[in-house]
């Protein structure tokens, strides 16, 4: 991956989750940006290799999810298994509890599929 493909956007309402994921991904060499709302993240999505999206945000911003369209191919959903997302589907889903190995594998797979 080149430098531009190592940028990840983390979107979660829980500040501790955002900071923990950011810290772990920065140790792995990723550039990380944070957002606490899906509405703030969608316009910025094209600048990142992927978005890590906490499924809890979908309950409050479900109408926005359908507006993501083609860009859903950049989204990795962090799920507790409670939300069924079908239109559009995320590129990948990582179920909690997850290990960093699981998350890094999902990011790597997404980057390979997108030829980044």
**What's the number of domains the chain is made of?**
1
d(CA 64, CA 5): 25
Each residue's pLDDT tens digit, 73-101: 888 999 887 666 666 677 888 998 889 99
pTM of the model: 0.86
79 touches 54 (CB < 8 A): no
Each residue's pLDDT tens digit, 2-52: 445 689 999 999 999 999 999 999 999 999 999 998 888 888 888 898 999
Nearest to 12 by CA among 33, 28, 35, 29: 35
What single-letter DSSP state applies at residue 81? S
Q: In CATH, what number is assigned to the domain containing residue 52?
A: 3.40.50.2300
| Structural domain for 37, as ranges | 3-113
Q: How far is CA 77 from the centre of its chain?
A: 6
């Amino acid at each position: 991956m080149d430098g531009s493909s190592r940028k990840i956007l983390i979107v979660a309402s829980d500040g501790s989750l955002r900071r923990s994921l950011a810290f772990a991904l920065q140790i792995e060499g990723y550039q990380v940006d944070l957002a606490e709302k899906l509405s703030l993240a969608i316009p910025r999505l094209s600048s990142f290799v992927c978005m890590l999206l906490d499924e809890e945000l979908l309950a409050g911003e479900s109408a926005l999810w359908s507006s993501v369209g083609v860009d859903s191919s950049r989204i990795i959903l962090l799920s507790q298994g409670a939300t069924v997302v079908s239109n559009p589907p995320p590129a990948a889903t990582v179920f909690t509890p997850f290990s960093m190995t699981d998350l890094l594998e999902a990011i790597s797979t997404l980057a390979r599929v997108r030829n980044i």
